[in-house]
Amino acid sequence: MAPSGKESEQAETQRGVFATTHWSVVLAAGQAESPQAAEALEKLCRTYWFPLYAYIRRRGYEVADAQDLVQGFFFHILSRGFLQRARPDKGRFRSFILGSLKFFLADELAKLQAQKRGGGRTMVFLDAHSAEERYRLESVEQMDAEKLFERRWAISLLERVLERLEGEFTAAGKGAAFERLRDFLLGDRGSVTYHDTAAALGMTEGAIKVAVHRMRQRYRELFNEEIAQTVADPAEIEQEMRHVFASLCM
């Protein structure tokens, strides 16, 4: 059966998004190092530093050791031919980077030296000050390290989507509207009403409902893009989306 017009349009959009995804750029580099692939890898790592930190802490490492290990791991993968091991059959980036971290912890810990932290390179994606504060907020003490990694990965991804959406509103001069409308975004708006929001923004309730609908639609588009950044094949996007929500429910 031929796909409907809407399905065809969605598939075309998905292919367009996937054509420039970060993980596909890394995989396409093959055995050759390239500035584009290295930059793509670093962008992916910016989202993963805290899930990896949480994983290491849950494995029993102390705060200072966990900070050193995360920085050492990023230095390792960004500076030591990591791209040469990135093959299409590695699949999803979250699985690849967690597997690489496990290898690093087992094989490289004895070689890690504090003075190599960053190796002269500024690792801007690791906020060492806030990392432990965020980790202490975890209330799921019974969760093992891998499940905690998956959960924090899912949360970090959704936070990234929200940051991008807020950035778009701010760039369009609608930062105040975003602050008011974000309560409607995920359906948990508490006591906030369309009527009160309309009055605050000088809009009609109908206009607020339309704005919320468009905001949710754009959020879903950005969510799809963020997921696409981390898989090797566009056919994996839907499955990875389901995994995000399953991880949040752990």
Selected residue with higher pLDDT from 121 and 38:
38
Average pLDDT over residues 199-223: 95
Mean pLDDT (the chain) is: 78
The region, left, alpha or beta by phi > 0 then psi within -120 to 50, assigned to residue 91 is left
Cα of 4 vs its chain's centroid, Å: 31
Structure tokens given for 69: 């290990």
Percentage of the chain with pLDDT > 90?
Answer: 30
Domain borders along the chain are: 12-248
pLDDT category of residue 118 using cuts at 50, 70 and 90: very low
Residue 115 binned pLDDT confidence (cut-offs 50, 70, 90): very low
User: What pLDDT does 128 receive?
Assistant: 58
Q: Determine the average pLDDT of the residues in 20-25.
A: 74
Judged by DSSP in three states, 113 sits in coil
Answer yes or no: are the C-beta atoms of 227 and 241 closer than 8 Å. yes
User: Which secondary-structure segment (H or E) carries 29?
Assistant: none
pLDDT at site 124:
46
pLDDT at 13: 47
| Structure confidence at residue 37 (pLDDT) | 75
| Predicted confidence (pLDDT) at residue 211 exceeds the cutoff of 90 | yes
pLDDT at 42: 78
What secondary structure does DSSP assign to 110-159, as a single string? GG--GGGGGGGS--TT--HHHHHHHHHT---TTS-HHHHHHHHHHHHHHH
Q: Is 80 exceeded by the pLDDT of residue 24?
A: no
pTM of the model: 0.75
